[in-house]
Amino acid sequence: MNRKSGVAAPVANIVARIGGRGGNGHAILLVAHYDSVPTGPGASDNAAGVAAVLEAARWLGTQPALRNDVILLLSDGEEFGLLGAEAFVASHPWARDAGLVVNLEARGRSGPSILFETSSGNAALIAGAGRGVPSAVANSLTYEVYRRLPNDTDFSVFKRAGMPGVNLAYLGGVTHYHSALDTPANVDHASLQHHGAYLIGLLRAFGDAELP
């Protein structure tokens, strides 16, 4: 249930956990919602995010184990009130382990994946992103624009719960957003690749770090 809007619905989140070498019990939580709106196929919003999370999981399987666990959350019901994220935070035992949240989104079909929102006290997050992701794109103006829009993402739920993290999205071609144009053929592969570069870079930067 989204208590802010009063919307409620059954959801089916997909969760998995990749064990680390043994940190302090905290984990990096990679998040993308897999539902879409009735008006669009949802290829960029948000199958691209799901694909990037799954590819990051595949990549992790080829590497030595990180110190920290990695939790994968493919959430349901984001478009209708962030319901899957609300359910995860409210009732899943792994939620309390999240020491860093990385949420993937899209509001278009192309362009760089932009780090447009963080939790408060973000100096270490920004430094880690800059260190781990050579192609990182971020500036403080994007959040000032975003917070004036009538929009939320799953990250809003994690942020309210006090979890540190970052919110990423590409924004080019906004006319494709929530429309019948949001098809696999219209997804810019460079944008999808940049999503993946962020995930891998952040995992490298924080996978062995002390969390949160």
What Å distances lie between residue 57 and 17, 50, 147, 169, CA to CA?
A: 10, 11, 31, 19
Contacts for 62 with CB less than 8 Å, ≥ 6 apart:
none
Q: What gap in Å lies between CA 11 and CA 76, rounded to an integer?
A: 6
Nearest to 60 by CA among 70, 51, 50: 70
Q: Are 88 and 73 in contact (CB under 8 A)?
A: yes
Nearest to 204 by CA among 116, 123, 112, 136: 136
The catalytic residue positions are 78
Instruction: Tell me 94's DSSP state.
Output: G
